[in-house]
């Protein structure tokens, strides 16, 4: 039988538990296999671990706030580890320090976490972890390789339910036969969705979408070709001068990641309020930012805090900019766009595949924003995920141009930039009319000023890429420095780029060489 071909292999250590990951092509399988190799634990030792776990769990008296707070959870793990260490020494003698730490780590995963899933949660190459039922292996979504089948099986449907219930307890909610659907998030920010049998007819399910440990920045997007320096500079200019933007796209196309990267361009002297169902937005520490999140009702149906309530409340907090995680309902959208008319700049995401589809979704039920109100939106940025090539690209940037009809106001879409798939390049299709005119109106700049401004921004962006500045706080620091002392920053960047540029031969020497070659 032919051996599986190893595509990729790497090692991890999570809570002192060493693990090896091997991703393989197996001719007997239709998708690559994600094989997780963990330390072998002998039967007698495993029985001792189960005994220790049964003794420790009641003793710890875990309070809800301890598992809802990342800091408290760490203290709980430390306390658990210390007590487990004492019991382990009594039950399993002659253990090396390393093996002792490994066994305690396994105990922590099984007692306070999600078992082997804890290793998957720490694998930075994974975006999604999926349990479909106890009869099928766990599946994962790899950032480069797509869906992979793992070698991990969850023994019983009860185990899947226990994982879902544990996550629910962390956010003060329950999943039961009466409430068989759950949407929650872990202390790490990872989003979890669970369903129970018979709603999911094959068995209980659990889907975890991982929260980016290091948020994507504009540097990442330029480096990977998701957008060009020209596009990034144009969007930076739009955000600096408070144009309103909706980022749309399909599922997992990178809408929120792009929005997060673009908000780094907000000047540091402005107050930002973000409103989300699940915390995904991460902004640099240099910004004046207040994050708000919705809250589901408790098992008695009390205590719910909706997005609409947060949006109304946010407008009383004197924000300069309002970020809404996703536009879903008409009332929320109407409040958001009414906020624009009172002097706030707004940014949000929406599920739609093109700028035209985005516009149609906004003006038709269930969102149903009046065209007159939608005229306050200047730009639509569309993200696209090419599943065949495994890449994400900015598909379109379109501006909304209000048109005055005989009976009613209308809107035309002007597509400024579009990604050409055959060339894998983002091309300027037409000149901006409305966005640039609005910028000139708000800033007092003329065409030449706008051109110079864009050139300066491109220099900063190229410098970020050249120096691989990818940390969100470092990107935020550079952008804040640009706003504080633009001329000085540009001089430093120009000088540095000039010093690093390859030295050219003097003109006379070049001419002399050409002359000799001609002879």
DSSP, collapsed to helix, strand or coil, labels residue 48 as helix
* Pairwise pLDDT comparison (331 vs 413), residue with the higher score: 413
Question: 205-214, 324-333, 401-410, 416-425 — which is least confidently predicted?
Answer: 401-410
Write out the DSSP string of 55-86.
Answer: HHHHHH---HHHHHSHHHHHHHHHHHHHHHHH
Q: Please state the φ and ψ torsions of residue 111, each to the nearest 5 degrees.
A: -95, -40
pLDDT tens for each residue of 419-443? 999 999 999 999 999 999 999 998 9
Domain boundaries, the chain: 218-500
The dihedral built from the CA positions of residue 235, 239, 244 and 246, taken in this order, carries a sign that is positive
Question: Over the chain, what is the mean pLDDT?
Answer: 87
pLDDT tens for each residue of 201-230? 999 999 998 876 678 999 999 999 999 999
Tokens in use for 226? 């998701």
Q: What is the pLDDT of residue 304?
A: 86
User: Looking at residues 395-416, what average pLDDT do you find?
Assistant: 86
pLDDT of 501 > 80? The answer is: no
Burial of residue 68, with CB atoms counted within 10 A of its CB: 0-12 exposed, 13-18 middle, 19 or more buried? middle
Q: Across the beta sheet with 425-428, what order do the strands follow?
A: 288-293, 271-276, 321-324, 345-351, 245-249, 379-386, 391-404, 409-420, 425-428
Q: What is the pLDDT of residue 377?
A: 93
Q: What confidence tier does 397 reach under pLDDT thresholds 50, 70, 90?
A: very high
Using CA atoms, how far apart are residues 265 and 480, in angstroms rounded to an integer? 8
- Go through 473-512 and write b for each residue having 16 or more CB atoms within 10 A of its CB, e for each that does not: eebbbbbbbbeeeeeebbeebeeeeeeeeeeeeeeeeeee
Structural contact between residues 231 and 218, judged by C-beta atoms closer than 8 angstroms: no
Cα torsion 396, 399, 404, 406 to 10°: value is 10
Q: What confidence tier does 512 reach under pLDDT thresholds 50, 70, 90?
A: very low
- Which 8-state DSSP code applies to residue 265? G
Structural contact between residues 273 and 290, judged by C-beta atoms closer than 8 angstroms: yes
pLDDT of 97 > 50? The answer is: yes
The dihedral built from the CA positions of residue 374, 380, 383 and 384, taken in this order, carries a sign that is positive
Q: Please state the φ and ψ torsions of residue 24, each to the nearest 5 degrees.
A: -130, 150
Using CA atoms, how far apart are residues 212 and 234, in angstroms rounded to an integer? 26
Q: What is the pLDDT of residue 506?
A: 46
Burial of residue 165, with CB atoms counted within 10 A of its CB: 0-12 exposed, 13-18 middle, 19 or more buried? middle
pLDDT of 93 > 80? The answer is: no
Tokens in use for 370? 């009046």
pLDDT tens for each residue of 20-65? 999 999 888 889 999 999 988 877 777 878 888 777 776 665 554 4
- CA distances (Å), 492 to each of 271, 482, 485, 498, in order? 29, 11, 11, 10
Spatial CA neighbour of 455 closest among 245, 267, 238, 237: 237
Instruction: List helix spans (H) across 177-274.
Output: 218-223, 229-240, 255-262
Q: What confidence tier does 507 reach under pLDDT thresholds 50, 70, 90?
A: very low
Query: Which CATH entry fits the domain spanning 218-500: 2.60.40.10, 2.60.120.1600, 3.40.50.300, 3.40.50.1820?
Result: 3.40.50.300
* Pairwise pLDDT comparison (55 vs 165), residue with the higher score: 165
Burial of residue 420, with CB atoms counted within 10 A of its CB: 0-12 exposed, 13-18 middle, 19 or more buried? exposed
- Which 8-state DSSP code applies to residue 405? -
Q: What is the pLDDT of residue 510?
A: 43
Statement: the pTM of the whole predicted model exceeds 0.85: no
């Amino acid at each position: 039988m032919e051996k599986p071909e190893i595509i990729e292999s790497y090692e991890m250590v999570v809570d002192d538990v060493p693990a090896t990951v091997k991703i393989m092509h197996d001719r007997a399988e239709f998708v690559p296999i994600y094989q997780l190799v963990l330390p072998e634990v002998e039967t007698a030792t495993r029985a001792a671990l189960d005994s220790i776990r049964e003794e420790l769990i009641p003793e710890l008296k875990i309070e809800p706030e301890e598992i809802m707070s990342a800091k408290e959870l760490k203290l709980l793990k430390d306390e658990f580890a210390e007590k487990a260490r004492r019991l382990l020494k009594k039950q399993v003698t002659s253990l090396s320090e390393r093996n002792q730490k490994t066994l305690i780590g396994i105990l922590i995963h099984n007692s306070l976490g999600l078992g082997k899933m804890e290793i998957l949660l720490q694998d930075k190459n994974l975006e999604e972890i999926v349990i479909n039922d106890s009869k099928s292996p766990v599946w994962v979504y790899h950032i480069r390789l797509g869906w992979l089948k793992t070698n991990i099986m969850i023994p019983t449907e009860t185990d899947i339910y226990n994982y879902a219930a544990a996550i629910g307890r962390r956010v003060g909610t329950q999943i039961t036969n009466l409430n068989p659907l759950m949407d929650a998030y872990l202390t790490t920010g990872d989003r979890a969705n669970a369903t129970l049998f018979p709603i999911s007819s094959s068995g209980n399910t659990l889907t975890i979408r991982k929260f980016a440990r290091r948020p994507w920045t504009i540097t990442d997007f330029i480096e990977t070709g998701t957008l060009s320096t020209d596009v990034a500079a144009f969007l930076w200019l739009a955000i600096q001068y408070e144009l309103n933007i909706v980022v749309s796209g399909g599922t997992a196309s990178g809408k929120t990641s792009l929005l997060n990267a673009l908000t780094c361009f907000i000047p540091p002297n402005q107050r930002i309020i973000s409103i989300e169902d699940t915390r995904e937005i991460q902004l640099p520490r240099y910004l004046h930012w207040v994050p708000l999140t919705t809250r589901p009702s408790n098992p008695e149906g009390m205590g719910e805090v909706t997005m609409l309530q947060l949006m109304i409340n946010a407008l009383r907090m004197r924000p300069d900019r309002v970020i809404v995680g996703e536009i879903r309902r008409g009332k929320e959208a109407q409040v958001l766009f009414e906020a624009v008319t009172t002097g706030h700049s707004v940014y949000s995401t929406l599920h739609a595949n093109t700028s035209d589809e985005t516009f149609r979704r906004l003006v038709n039920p269930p969102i149903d924003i009046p065209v007159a109100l939608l005229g306050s939106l200047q730009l639509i940025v569309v993200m696209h995920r090419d599943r065949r090539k495994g890449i994400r690209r900015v598909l379109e940037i379109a501006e909304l141009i209000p048109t005055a009809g005989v009976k009613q106001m209308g809107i035309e879409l002007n597509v400024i930039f579009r990604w050409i798939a055959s060339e894998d390049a983002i091309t300027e299709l037409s000149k901006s009319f409305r966005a640039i005119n609005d910028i000139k109106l708000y800033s007092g700049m003329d065409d030449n000023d706008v051109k110079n401004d864009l050139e300066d921004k491109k220099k900063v962006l190229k410098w970020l890429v050249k120096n691989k500045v990818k940390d969100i706080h470092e990107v935020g620091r550079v952008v804040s420095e640009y706003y504080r002392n633009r001329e000085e920053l540009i001089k430093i960047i120009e000088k540095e780029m000039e010093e690093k540029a390859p030295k050219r031969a003097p003109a006379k020497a070049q001419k002399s060489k050409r002359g000799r070659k001609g002879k």
